[in-house]
């Protein structure tokens, strides 16, 4: 799925810092709040921190971290629950979970 971003805070002129990432993640989360069916909006309340069900952490995509991982790494407590999701720059992760996602393609 391709999520729209809030280009006022998520653009290539911003430095890749934790603060800027969190601002972009929260803004992008709010920009996508009407999208349902991907288990992001249904299970979390905002784009950063322990705001998913069962106190799992959630970090929406932002800045140079345009991908969303779901499930997390084994043994990482709130970073490994069923409702955990996090932004990623696309690097491979040997200890992260895997969830298959099937998305219907609607033709115009």
Tens of pLDDT, residue by residue, the chain (108 residues): 788 899 999 998 998 899 999 999 999 999 998 988 888 889 999 989 988 988 888 999 999 888 888 876 666 666 777 888 888 887 776 665 555 556 666 666
Cα(66)–Cα(3) distance, integer angstroms = 9
- 63 and 16 Cβ atoms separated by less than 8 Å: yes
pLDDT confidence of residue 81: 77
The answer to whether 41 and 27 have CB atoms below 8 angstroms apart is no
CA distance 99 to 82: 10
What is the model's pLDDT at position 31? 93
- Could you tell me the residue range of the domain that residue 68 belongs to? 1-108
Number of domains in the chain: 1
Residues in Cβ contact with 29 at an 8 Å cutoff, skipping those fewer than 6 apart: 40, 44, 46, 47, 48, 60
């Amino acid at each position: 799925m391709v999520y729209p971003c809030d280009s006022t805070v998520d653009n290539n002129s911003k430095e890749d810092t934790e603060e800027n990432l969190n601002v972009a993640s929260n803004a992008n989360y709010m920009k996508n709040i009407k999208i349902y069916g991907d288990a992001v909006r249904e299970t979390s309340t905002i784009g950063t921190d322990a705001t998913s069900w069962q106190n799992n952490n959630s970090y929406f995509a932002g800045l140079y971290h345009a991908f969303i991982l779901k499930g997390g790494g084994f043994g990482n407590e709130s970073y490994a629950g069923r409702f955990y999701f996090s932004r990623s720059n696309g690097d491979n992760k040997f200890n992260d979970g895997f969830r298959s996602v099937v998305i219907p393609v609607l033709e115009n």
